[in-house]
Amino acid sequence: MDILACPVCKGKLELSVEEENEKEIVTGSLYCPKCDVHYPISETIPNLLPPDLRH
């Protein structure tokens, strides 16, 4: 978590977990309070593409 940063402002992200197993977080999200953007975690992969590049 301490290596993760918002791709836009490079600020710290707040983690919220929806589902996790013994090894990793399966679904959840990472929130950047500065940019007010949620980055989803789905199937253990955080989607940290800048918002304008997301599908």
Partner 1 sequence: MRKEEIKKVVREGYAKIAKQDSSCCAPVNSCCGSTDLAQDIGKSIGYTEEELTAVPEGANLGLGCGNPVALASLREGEIVLDLGSGAGVDCFLAANKVGKNGRVIGVDMTPEMIERARENARKGNYGNVEFRLGEIESLPVADNSVDIVISNCVINLAPDKRRVFTETFRVLKPGGRLMISDIVLLKELPDFIKNSIEAYIGCLSGAIIRDEYIEAIKAAGFQEVGIIDEASFPIECLANDPTAKAIIENLKIPPEEVKEVASSVTSIKVYGVKPN
Interface with partner 1 (CB under 8 A): 2-8, 10, 12, 23, 39, 43-50, 52-53
Q: Based on CB atoms, which residue is closest to partner 1, 31 or 46?
A: 46
Radius of gyration, alpha carbons of the chain = 11
Residue placing its CB nearer to partner 1 in the complex, 36 or 52: 52
Rounded least distance, CB 28 to partner 1, Å: 14
Terminal CA-CA length for the chain: 25
Using CA atoms, how far apart are residues 30 and 35, in angstroms rounded to an integer? 12
Q: How near is the Cβ of 5 to partner 1 at its closest, in Å?
A: 4
Q: Hunting for tokens 């997301």 — which residue is that?
A: 54
